Amino acid sequence: MPHTATVDTVLAHVEAGFDQSVERLQELLRIKSISTDPAFAEDCKAAAQWLVDDLTACGFEVATHLTPGHPIVVAHDRDGTDPHVLFYGHYDVQPVDPLDLWDTDPFVPQVKTIANGTRVITGRGASDDKGQLMTFIEACRAWRHVVGKLPVRVSILLEGEEESGGKNLPAFIEANMQELKADIALVCDTDMWDRQTPCVTTMLRGFVGEEITIFCANRDLHSGTYGGAARNPNQILAEIIASLHDADGRVALEGFYDDVAELPKNVKEQWRGLGFDENAFLAGAGLSLPAGERDRSVLELLWGRPTCEINGIFGGYTGEGFKTVIPARASAKISFRLVSNMDPRNIRDTFRAHVRARIPADCSVTFTDHGGSPALTVPSGGALLNKALAALTREWGKPAVIIGDGGSIPVGGEFKRILGMDTLFIGCAQNDDLIHSPNEKYDLTNFHKGIRSWVRLLDAFVQ
């Protein structure tokens, strides 16, 4: 049960200091921590140092760990009781291009009212993930100020390469297993179910990314001179892409569904109870008919079924005007979203075998690995999950729900693989926050109630 009087006092402190919380978030948003561009390496270091200083001011023991990429920040507060929670966030952000589509400078955060009357804070990273990670830090700050300690033992892991692949994080976790091991991991990099309904995401799809390049002639050829006699890699690529799905929308790789289980009946019923409007979801993207496997609901296709998507195709002349050329090469970027029990390595191997079998003898193919991670499912009956749902319900005044997510957050899989630890994904973002896009924003109500939610969650986790 929550310690009502203490929690109310901490929440009152959050209210009194909210303007200062917004100012601290603005300070962090001004740092241009774009991880994928080497030109911003010093800015990434500056963001890590800002967090070190801020967490130290909150009473944490903090250390910066250098990696071959950007620094990782680890902080501990060991004064609380069990359970021990590990909070994860990332301080790096996406590039801002195209800059001309931003209403204001992406690194000069603004607090303003947008067209629908919502008060927001704008800037790159406002929602993904600086605003979200600061909800947790601000909750910890309030607990430390009012009570002098946190209700539970807390460790914090903040990385600076999530937006550029996070390639150095798994090795870091493996090298620091004893320090990072906890009872549960907490990740805030997710959305609410709708504007008023909090949620815990317990299912995330895995990922495999592949790029293929098909080579035929030793140079681009004139289509009048060689057309009809020379292999065209664009045609080979098109035939391979066409072979990836059958007429019913199923992925046609051999054995692709061997490890795919049907969703439990109670999960399907729970998803039906969410009131998801399939037509409105598709209409928002200018569509009206679902693709993919037939006789599946849209939520099931998004959360509970694997996919194969063609993300990019390029080959030959694509400039202005026309050029009658048979290209020497053609390429495609193809991704797979995976569900529980599917092995990313097996899917990659199966896909490559499928492609190789369709390459003519006088042509060749190369593959580029663009990462992979397994799907993640959190057991639905866990005590900490139930406590989290109850705490979120108290704060938002609407029953918190359990949802899935069609995307991938690889760190959850790494926590499970390396540390044997489940992850609760609890975020307060909205699906219109324009993350990765111009004019990214975070609703001030969500920043405010996100802080309040973590105040309640930390107390609720006490055993």
Nearest to 339 by CA among 294, 370, 293, 288: 293
The predicted structure's pLDDT at residue 190: 94
Q: What are phi and psi of 439, to 5 degrees?
A: 65, 35
pLDDT band at 372 (very low <50, low <70, confident <90, very high): confident
Q: What are phi and psi of 459, to 5 degrees?
A: -70, -40
pLDDT band at 413 (very low <50, low <70, confident <90, very high): confident
CATH topology agreement for domains 4-204+375-460 and 206-267+288-372: no
Q: Measured in whole angstroms, how far is the alpha carbon of residue 436 from the centre of its chain?
A: 11
Q: Which two tokens stand for residue 418?
A: 């390396």
Cβ pair 182, 421 in contact under 8 A:
yes
Cβ pair 327, 315 in contact under 8 A:
yes
Q: What angle do CA 361, 364, 368 make, to 5 degrees?
A: 150
The predicted structure's pLDDT at residue 463: 67
DSSP-derived secondary structure letter, 263: P
Three-state DSSP state, 53: helix
What is the average pLDDT across 202-218? 95
Q: Judging by DSSP bridges, how do beta strands 119-122 and 110-113 pair with one another?
A: antiparallel
| Residue 317 in this model has a pLDDT that exceeds 70 | yes
Nearest-angstrom CA–CA distance, 198 and 130: 19
Domain boundaries, the chain: 4-204+375-460, 206-267+288-372
Q: Percent of the chain having pLDDT more than 90?
A: 89
Nearest-angstrom CA–CA distance, 29 and 123: 7
What is the average pLDDT across 198-209? 94
The predicted structure's pLDDT at residue 354: 98
Cβ pair 240, 341 in contact under 8 A:
no
| Residue 407 in this model has a pLDDT that exceeds 90 | no
What is the average pLDDT across 319-325? 95
What is the average pLDDT across 209-237? 97
Three-state DSSP state, 56: helix
The predicted structure's pLDDT at residue 2: 60
Nearest to 326 by CA among 448, 223, 452: 223
**CATH number belonging to domain 206-267+288-372:** 3.30.70.360
Q: Measured in whole angstroms, how far is the alpha carbon of residue 232 from the centre of its chain?
A: 38
What is the average pLDDT across 231-249? 97
Q: pLDDT (tens digit, 9 = 90+) per residue, 79-120? A: 889 999 999 999 999 999 999 999 999 999 999 999 999 999
pLDDT band at 1 (very low <50, low <70, confident <90, very high): low
Q: Which two tokens stand for residue 411?
A: 């760190």
The yes or no reply on domain 4-204+375-460 and CATH 3.40.630.10 is yes
- Write out the E strands in 339-462: 364-373, 376-377, 401-405, 423-425, 441-443
Residue type, 260: V
Nearest-angstrom CA–CA distance, 415 and 114: 38
Nearest-angstrom CA–CA distance, 277 and 291: 16
Q: pLDDT (tens digit, 9 = 90+) per residue, 23-49? A: 999 999 999 999 999 999 999 999 999
Residue type, 373: S
Q: Which residue has the tokens 């729900």?
A: 401
| Residue 123 in this model has a pLDDT that exceeds 60 | yes
Nearest-angstrom CA–CA distance, 50 and 52: 5
Q: pLDDT (tens digit, 9 = 90+) per residue, 145-190? A: 999 999 999 999 999 999 998 889 999 999 999 999 999 999 999 9
The predicted structure's pLDDT at residue 409: 86
Cβ pair 94, 124 in contact under 8 A:
yes
Q: Which two tokens stand for residue 227?
A: 């057309």
Q: Measured in whole angstroms, how far is the alpha carbon of residue 215 from the centre of its chain?
A: 34
Q: What are phi and psi of 63, to 5 degrees?
A: -140, 145
Cβ pair 281, 298 in contact under 8 A:
yes
Q: What are phi and psi of 336, to 5 degrees?
A: -120, 135
Q: Which two tokens stand for residue 424?
A: 């609760």
What is the average pLDDT across 230-256? 97
What is the average pLDDT across 434-461? 97
The torsion defined by the Cα of 387, 127, 41 and 185, in degrees rounded to 10, comes to: 10
The predicted structure's pLDDT at residue 267: 87
Higher pLDDT, 372 or 174: 174
Peptide bond into 129 cis (omega under 30): yes
Q: pLDDT (tens digit, 9 = 90+) per residue, 44-65? A: 999 999 999 999 999 999 999 9
pLDDT band at 295 (very low <50, low <70, confident <90, very high): confident
Query: Which alpha helices (DSSP H) does 297-356 contain, by range?
Result: 298-299, 344-356
Residue type, 194: D
Q: What are phi and psi of 455, to 5 degrees?
A: -60, -45
Q: How many helices (H) and strands (E) does the chain have?
A: 15, 18
The predicted structure's pLDDT at residue 199: 96
Q: Which two tokens stand for residue 159?
A: 């990385």
Nearest-angstrom CA–CA distance, 285 and 456: 36
Cβ pair 404, 376 in contact under 8 A:
no
